[in-house]
Amino acid sequence: MATRTRPRVVVDGSNLATEGRTLPSLAQLDDALAAFIDENPTAEIIVVTDASFSHRVEVSERSRFKELELAGRIVTPPAGAIGRGDAFILKIADRINAVVLSNDSFQEFHDEYPWLFDVGRLIGGKPVPMVGWVFTPRLPVRNVKKPRAVKKLAVELPGGAQPTIGTTLTPVKKATKRAAKAPAKVAKKATKALKADKVEKAPEKAPTAKASAARAPVEKAPVEKAPADKTGRVTKKAPARPAKRAVKAVPAEREAPVAPADGQESLEKPTATPVLRRGRQPVNPEASFAQFRAAHKVGTRVEGDVTAFTSHGAVIRVATKGGGFVECYAPTTLLGSPAPARARDVLSRGDRVSFRLVTVDDERRIAELSLL
């Protein structure tokens, strides 16, 4: 059986395309591949990029990326793959015994793939001004785990002798601490007794002016008699009612918006404000969410518009039958590998983007989406 002489190389396309940059560049990836092929013309190359690569490159490069992906010259991991692009790259390299071209150290996979530390299995590359791309073998940086500090017991024997192997140690009760606490308790009780004694012996205070005025008898004002009429009868006048106090007008609180009833769509125009709520309160109307669940299954493709951003993701509006819509959520952990720091680094408000339905929470009526 003939042995294979052509080396195989799995290229971390996202890593090389982002080297020295904040966003990936397909043109930079092309330059790196061309330079590597010039140095290794017999190598069989497999280029792997993250699933979000096509959404992070320049708009002018997206159509060409799609062409390369359809032609099989660039491979992306399946949506929802555990470990995302890094795990996919290492799984391919492990299966075909290939070299990995990347500047990443893959620290979370050191235990699973110890061959990363074999000489020649990992190659790095950087663009050098006035020179071009320079490639060199490298070893990954180990993820060093700091050992825990161990407390040592100091044991003293009577007479200052040091214990040896076989010495029997008898635990001593902590009588000294109890003895030290006893005087403090006695002093505390004595202080309380002195305070109580002072309170009992305190002289009574002289009555204040207000108290004297309160005890003084109050003279009643003379009551005027009602005048008699011609017949000699005394007419009783109705007691005058006390004047009503002026009540200040208190502005009415704004009424909280009434949520639409189940099965009814909101009559107000949709705004860009997300309707995601905390807790277990349902996010979407029951009827609209039922239409969404009937039209989309977990794992299928979903088209949606980016309407707003949160601290850990983006709000995606997906249209349903009958002119309605539901609000879905795309967390940053599902927007790329590695995950972007912010959702707005990958998405833009108002864009229509293709997602994949990952999970559905029927209790809260909300669905989570991942970027294709």
CATH 3.30.43.10 applies to domain 8-137: no
State whether the Cα torsion 172-174-180-183 is positive or negative: negative
**264, pLDDT greater than 50:** no
Q: What is the pLDDT of residue 82?
A: 77
- Determine how many CB atoms are found less than 10 A away from the CB of residue 146: 5
Which tops the pLDDT comparison, 241 or 294? Answer: 294
Beta strands 74-75 and 99-101 are unpaired
Bond before 338 cis per omega within 30 degrees: yes
- Give the pLDDT confidence of 80-98 residue by residue, as tens digits: 777 678 999 999 999 999 9
Helix axes 26-39, 59-70, angle to 10 degrees: 50
Q: What is the pLDDT of residue 54?
A: 87
- Determine how many CB atoms are found less than 10 A away from the CB of residue 91: 16
pLDDT band at 220 (very low <50, low <70, confident <90, very high): low
d(CA 88, CA 75): 10
Mean pLDDT for 341-360 is: 90
Q: What is the pLDDT of residue 257?
A: 44
d(CA 266, CA 269): 8
Residues with Cβ within 8 Å of residue 126, at least 6 apart in sequence:
19, 20, 103, 133, 134
d(CA 369, CA 328): 7
Q: What is the pLDDT of residue 273?
A: 44
Which of 303, 276, 304 has its CA nearest to residue 361?
Answer: 276
pLDDT band at 213 (very low <50, low <70, confident <90, very high): low
Mean pLDDT for 47-51 is: 92
Q: What is the pLDDT of residue 143?
A: 73
Q: What is the DSSP letter of 228?
A: B
Q: Are the CB atoms for 349 and 309 separated by under 8 Å?
A: yes
Q: What is the pLDDT of residue 88?
A: 92
Q: What is the pLDDT of residue 254?
A: 45
Give the start-to-end residue ranges of the domains of the chain.
Answer: 8-137, 286-371
pLDDT band at 318 (very low <50, low <70, confident <90, very high): very high
Q: Are the CB atoms for 124 and 138 separated by under 8 Å?
A: yes
Q: What is the pLDDT of residue 97?
A: 93
Q: Are the CB atoms for 100 and 46 separated by under 8 Å?
A: no
Residue type, 153: L
Mean pLDDT for 293-311 is: 90
Q: What is the pLDDT of residue 10?
A: 94
Which of 370, 366, 179 has its CA nearest to residue 283?
Answer: 366
Residue 309: HSE in the Cβ half-sphere, 13 Å Cα cutoff: 14
CA distance from start to end of the chain: 42
pTM of the model: 0.41
**277, pLDDT greater than 60:** no
Mean pLDDT for 280-293 is: 87
Residue 17: HSE in the Cβ half-sphere, 13 Å Cα cutoff: 24
Indicate the average pLDDT of the chain. 77
Mean pLDDT for 283-292 is: 90
Q: What homologous superfamily is domain 286-371 in, according to CATH?
A: Nucleic acid-binding proteins (2.40.50.140)
CA separation (Å) from 140 to 40, 91, 102, 106?
A: 22, 17, 10, 7
Q: What is the pLDDT of residue 270?
A: 45
Q: What is the pLDDT of residue 212?
A: 52
